[in-house]
């Protein structure tokens, strides 16, 4: 059963997150790669309405300016609130400037990025899991996918 959805704005971001998030956490999470920010936000709204499952929306900020990042988060939240309900949590995460920047400061093409991911050692993955974005995602997804105690 899908406990939560994780939506990104590009397929390579899904590949990165699938490699970096703990496998025990991702077992019941469905990853969805949209084609750009607008498509990711639209997909999130649709899933909030149709599936009633928690959603993590992870987008590239395309900037490192904190005020611009905060503004983008607020705008995305504003667009998603009409589709949301109090019982179904969602959270918007912006990677500054991009999710790929977690791995490398230099720009690499998609093929090289996948090769880089495949070469990561367990120690390197553990080190990358300490990145603030990954930590925030782990915290949110852990909280929303925990079984409710009876």
Structural domain boundaries in the chain: 4-142
List all residues 6 or more positions away from 34 whose beta carbon is below 8 Å from its beta carbon.
7, 8, 9, 10, 40, 42, 43
Tell the CATH topology of 4-142: Rossmann fold (3.40.50)
Q: What is the pLDDT of residue 147?
A: 64
Q: What is the pLDDT of residue 149?
A: 44
Pairing of the two strands 29-33 and 90-95: unpaired
> At which residue do the structure tokens 């949209």 appear?
34
Q: What is the pLDDT of residue 25?
A: 92
Q: What is the pLDDT of residue 105?
A: 54
Q: How far apart are CA 22 and CA 19, in angstroms?
A: 8
Q: What is the pLDDT of residue 116?
A: 87
Stretches where the chain sits below pLDDT 50 are: 148-150
List all residues 6 or more positions away from 138 whose beta carbon is below 8 Å from its beta carbon.
21, 22, 25, 129
Structure tokens at 11: 């397929």
Q: What is the pLDDT of residue 107?
A: 66
Q: What is the pLDDT of residue 131?
A: 93
Neighbouring CB atoms inside 10 A of 132's CB total 11
């Amino acid at each position: 059963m899908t406990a939560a959805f994780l939506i990104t704005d590009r397929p390579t971001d899904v590949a990165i997150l699938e490699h970096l998030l703990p496998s025990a956490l991702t077992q019941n999470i469905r990853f969805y790669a949209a084609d750009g920010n607008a498509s990711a936000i639209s997909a999130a709204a649709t899933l909030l309405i149709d599936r009633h499952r928690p959603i993590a929306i992870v987008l590239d900020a395309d900037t490192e300016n904190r005020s611009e990042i905060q503004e983008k988060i607020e705008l995305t939240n504003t667009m998603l609130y009409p589709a949301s309900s109090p019982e179904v949590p969602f959270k918007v995460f912006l990677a500054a400037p991009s999710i790929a920047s977690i791995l490398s400061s230099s720009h690499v093409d998609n093929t090289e990025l996948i090769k880089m991911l495949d070469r990561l050692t367990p120690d390197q993955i553990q080190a990358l899991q300490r990145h603030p974005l990954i930590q925030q995602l782990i915290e949110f997804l852990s909280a929303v996918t925990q079984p409710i105690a009876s």
